[in-house]
Amino acid sequence: MEMQTDRPHISGGFGSPNISNDIYGLIRRRSHMFVNAVHLSLGETCYSVTSDFIMSQIAILLTMKTTFHRRVVSTTQYPREQC
């Protein structure tokens, strides 16, 4: 009989496409621990990045994926003066 844990169920072994989704779901359920947005300043532009994007990045880091996830879930661009 399997013990119930707080960890996501990972099927398919390491490298399964479901791993980051499972970890994302786990982080999402605990999203009260995360800020709603982080402001990033890049060159002449700064961005407000939502927690969905931050959590998806954390999930990818936790699964040791080396490619940068370029799909941004939701960002808002601001002129640098407004940062």
Under the phi-then-psi rule, with left for phi > 0, alpha for psi from -120 to 50, and beta for the rest, what region is 3? beta
Residue 69: the pLDDT is 43
Residue 66: the pLDDT is 44
pLDDT, tens digit, for every residue of 17-55? 455 555 556 555 554 444 455 555 555 555 566 666 666
Taking 60 as the threshold, does the pLDDT of residue 57 lie above it?
yes
Q: What are the residues whose beta carbons fall under 8 Å from the beta carbon of 2, sequence distance 6 or more?
A: none
The pTM for the full model equals 0.23
Q: Which of 3, 1, 2, 75 is nearest to 40 (CA)?
A: 75
